[in-house]
Structure 1
Amino acid sequence: MNTIQPGFVPLTRAEYDTLTKLLGELLHTQYPPVVIPGEAILGIEAIAASIAAPGRRFLNIVTGPYGTLFGEWLERGGAEVFELRVPFDEVVTAQAVQTAIERSKPHAISFVHAEVVTGGSNPAKEILELARRYDLISVIDSVSAVGGEELPIDSWGADLVAVGMQKALGGPNGVSAVAVSPRGWAFIESNARAPRNSILSLLDLRAPGEGQPFRVPPSIPTLEARALIATLAATEAEGLEQVIRRHEIAAESTAAGLRALGLQGWQRDAARRSTLTTTVRIGDEQLLRIEQPIGIVAPGDGELRGQLLRINHFGASASQEGVETAIKTLAALLEQEATAAIAAVQEVWEAAQ
């Protein structure tokens, strides 16, 4: 029995169409994204369940814990998974990806775009160029990247892309999306094991074609969906390029503050560091070993706890005030004066104006 709570008003078709339109514009795709009724991890698992099958070979790039998890989900579905893994203080190179493609001869390739846990950013555009060259289906976890890094889905030729709105865009985490190209849909439809009548079914959530009957999925949480519409409208008003630029400046100014404090970034290649988080190598510095977050300064997750600190300068914290507060926190932990580090942060923001 379906019980409607007093005062509950389901998402209307007009609101649903507005949501998919705004998502498509955000992701630079002409194909209506699938609205996922839950956190972005649900969309990632739904992708794995929809495409994994015996006889299918995947090259799964692992540069952080979510890559490991996605590979496990593919194997659960019966797929053969070839793993390209690098240390978590590095990201993959296009040359390594090409070599792995030629060795494993996969049907599809999967990777995480921006690794907020490790502070790295994989070369998405170059990897997608290789996917097109070798005629591979491409799968991207861009949950954290969207709004903080460039992501023109159609022009880059991405096939299945999971995105979340709670990081750079500062939106709700109770609803997310998966963008699917026509090639991606064909790859799903040709899989007899793709879920139907399931919370993991992308096919059941697929937006209708022109003139096709459609009922807004009742599982989509109404309040979160309306909050997401408001978030996307605010992003449109600020301008996506400006949102991305704000995150780039936050990352640049954080790096400047760290240098002034004598701290080293966790990611070895400064050019491949994420715009959403900056990770700090702890090394032998015992004063940096915190157990709980202090503002946007957080300890490492899982196996990275005690090895790095993470500065989460995304969303509203991608600001001069947010970065300065984080740098002051680090200076206090180190029992150092923060004046020079704050000046370094301010210099970057002033130069960017």
Structure 2
Amino acid sequence: MQPLSLPPRLLMGPGPINCYPRVLTAMSTQLVGQYDPAMTNYMNEVMSLYRQVFNTQNEQTFLIDGTSRAGIEAAIVSILEPGDKVLVPIFGRFGHLLAEIAERADADVHTIEAPWGEVFKPEQIEEAIKKVKPKLLAIVQGDTSTTMLQPLDELGAICRAHDVLFYTDATASIAGNPFETDKWQVDAVTVGLQKCLGGPSGSAPITMSERFVQHVRKRHHVEAGIRDAHHQDAKGQRIRSNYFDLSMIMDYWGEERLNHHTEAATMLFGARECALALLSEGQEKVLKRHKLAGDAMLAGVQAMGLTPFGDLQHKMTNVVGVSIPDEVDGESIRKTLLDTFNIEIGTSFGPLKGKIWRIGTMGYNARQDAVLHTLQSLETVLRRGGCKLPLGDAIDAAMSVYCDEK
């Protein structure tokens, strides 16, 4: 056994990505006890920082210890009781994930589907809400499997008009695309660190509106600081998961500090630094940087003669889908790019498996040199693999995007 020694990869896929160096530094910090005042102060700081990240005033804003999927599961299993109706609009792989988790909670799951590469219009979702009459609308904002970004700004008002709770997972899109929790009237949002926030997978920030919290709280009873695990409300169903019970996690992060788990301190330090990196640079500047990098990458692949996938008016800024040319083996190109240039780009899933590459520009890697290095390397590998490409046009097109911005 030897010390860790990983190759110096440039992660230009749909995530995970290379971390901001400052995040890695923060995560090397020595530990203190979970109830040490220094630790609880940092927990409070994290709550305050992520209210700014989510653009919300929600008191209940904190971290779920686990990957972004842990946040999704916590939100869904804590709000849905067996038999509750939930509507899941699906436009990619991760909509199917929301539906599966809701099914495991024994909810009455209803889905509508858009072709991969497209998104839903608000009126399509409202029509389904009128028909289904769900307790919860659960939808992904950005789905990296298709690179599409679902507009959310009108959905909150639709949900309020029909007395529906509104949950979204924004793991792939937060910090690289606009997100306004309060303005859009979103009741619950979960994310991960490993995309535009520039951290590692392993912590799932969450924020919840008061109306969402009230629904979760109804499923538990607290008396004199001791939870009565046998109490059942009129509906008779307590949250089936202990680890993902948001009512218990709220008490752990709240003033009561009721023991639920031991906080993953190293991940908290990393999550804190991710938020600080975003807020110190400035949210608008970070959004602009992601859009610039995404526009440059898109211009580059188009100038190379490659065809981008999907409705470009609704693509995420931070990842582009690229149709694999017929004359090459997509996996062979990815392998050569990885082995020769240490650059990773992504493949896709389901109906898009083997049909598109997904090239990300997010977090620490949403920068000019990473974009240009990826385009130049991809052009070289494709050319040597038999593709006839216009030499240098990709770099020129990408550089023009950057020059036009100056």
TM-score (structure 1 length as normaliser): 0.91
Residues 245/187 of structure 1: CA separation in 2 closer, same or farther (3 Å cut): same
In structure 2, C-alpha distance between the alignment counterparts of 1:232 and 1:133, rounded to whole Å: 33
Residues 229/95 of structure 1: CA separation in 2 closer, same or farther (3 Å cut): same
Given that 1:62 and 1:83 are in contact with CA atoms closer than 8 Å, whether structure 2 keeps it comes out as: yes
Q: Which residue of 2 aligns with 1:246?
A: 289
Deviation at 1:117, TM superposition (A): 2.1
Q: Which residue of 1 aligns with 2:319?
A: 277
In structure 2, C-alpha distance between the alignment counterparts of 1:52 and 1:93, rounded to whole Å: 25
In structure 2, C-alpha distance between the alignment counterparts of 1:216 and 1:26, rounded to whole Å: 27
Q: Which residue of 1 aligns with 2:69?
A: 41
Given that 1:74 and 1:81 are in contact with CA atoms closer than 8 Å, whether structure 2 keeps it comes out as: yes
Equivalences for 1:78-93 in 2 at 5 Å?
Answer: 78-93=106-121
In structure 2, C-alpha distance between the alignment counterparts of 1:330 and 1:129, rounded to whole Å: 44
In structure 2, C-alpha distance between the alignment counterparts of 1:301 and 1:324, rounded to whole Å: 27
Bigger Cα Rg: 2
- Whether 2:191 is the aligned partner of 1:160: answer no
Q: Which residue of 2 aligns with 1:222?
A: 265
Q: Report which stretch shifted further, 12-21 or 82-91.
A: 82-91
Given that 2:46 and 2:62 are in contact with CA atoms closer than 8 Å, whether structure 1 keeps it comes out as: no
- Whether 2:248 is the aligned partner of 1:204: answer yes
Where 2:346 maps in the other structure, the secondary structure is: strand
Superposed CA offset, 1:61-105 (max 9, x none): 111112112112212222111101112222222222122222222
Deviation at 1:215, TM superposition (A): 4.8
In structure 2, C-alpha distance between the alignment counterparts of 1:197 and 1:266, rounded to whole Å: 39
In structure 2, C-alpha distance between the alignment counterparts of 1:339 and 1:241, rounded to whole Å: 32
- Whether 2:350 is the aligned partner of 1:322: answer no
Q: Which residue of 2 aligns with 1:346?
A: 399
How many pairs align?
345
Gaps of 5+ in 1: 1-6
Deviation at 1:219, TM superposition (A): 2.7
In structure 2, C-alpha distance between the alignment counterparts of 1:234 and 1:150, rounded to whole Å: 17
Where 2:89 maps in the other structure, the secondary structure is: strand
Deviation at 1:189, TM superposition (A): 2.6
Q: Which residue of 1 aligns with 2:379?
A: 331
In structure 2, C-alpha distance between the alignment counterparts of 1:20 and 1:247, rounded to whole Å: 25
Deviation at 1:152, TM superposition (A): 1.5
**Structure with higher RCO (Cα < 8 A, 6+ apart):** 2
Question: Percent of aligned positions with the same letter in both sequences?
Answer: 26
Given that 1:328 and 1:338 are in contact with CA atoms closer than 8 Å, whether structure 2 keeps it comes out as: no
Gaps of 5+ in 2: 1-29, 220-235, 384-388
Q: Which residue of 1 aligns with 2:26?
A: none
Matching residue's letter, 2:80: A
In structure 1, C-alpha distance between the alignment counterparts of 2:349 and 2:391, rounded to whole Å: 27
Equivalences for 1:102-117 in 2 at 5 Å?
Answer: 102-117=130-145
In structure 1, C-alpha distance between the alignment counterparts of 2:377 and 2:330, rounded to whole Å: 10
In structure 2, C-alpha distance between the alignment counterparts of 1:329 and 1:131, rounded to whole Å: 46
Matching residue's letter, 1:52: L
Superposed CA offset, 1:280-335 (max 9, x none): 12262424444547324222245532111010111111111121122223312321
Q: Which residue of 2 aligns with 1:213?
A: 256
Superposed CA offset, 1:99-122 (max 9, x none): 222222222211100112211100
Find the partner of 2:299 among 227, 250, 256. 256
Given that 2:306 and 2:325 are in contact with CA atoms closer than 8 Å, whether structure 1 keeps it comes out as: no
Residues 73/24 of structure 1: CA separation in 2 closer, same or farther (3 Å cut): same
In structure 2, C-alpha distance between the alignment counterparts of 1:15 and 1:203, rounded to whole Å: 21
Runs of 4+ in 1 over 6 A off after TM superposition: none
Given that 1:35 and 1:205 are in contact with CA atoms closer than 8 Å, whether structure 2 keeps it comes out as: no
Given that 1:137 and 1:159 are in contact with CA atoms closer than 8 Å, whether structure 2 keeps it comes out as: yes
Given that 2:119 and 2:148 are in contact with CA atoms closer than 8 Å, whether structure 1 keeps it comes out as: yes
Given that 1:37 and 1:219 are in contact with CA atoms closer than 8 Å, whether structure 2 keeps it comes out as: no
In structure 2, C-alpha distance between the alignment counterparts of 1:102 and 1:183, rounded to whole Å: 21
Where 2:126 maps in the other structure, the secondary structure is: helix
Q: Report which stretch shifted further, 14-23 or 331-340.
A: 331-340
Given that 2:193 and 2:202 are in contact with CA atoms closer than 8 Å, whether structure 1 keeps it comes out as: no
Q: Report which stretch shifted further, 301-310 or 177-186.
A: 301-310
Deviation at 1:29, TM superposition (A): 1.2
Given that 1:49 and 1:194 are in contact with CA atoms closer than 8 Å, whether structure 2 keeps it comes out as: no
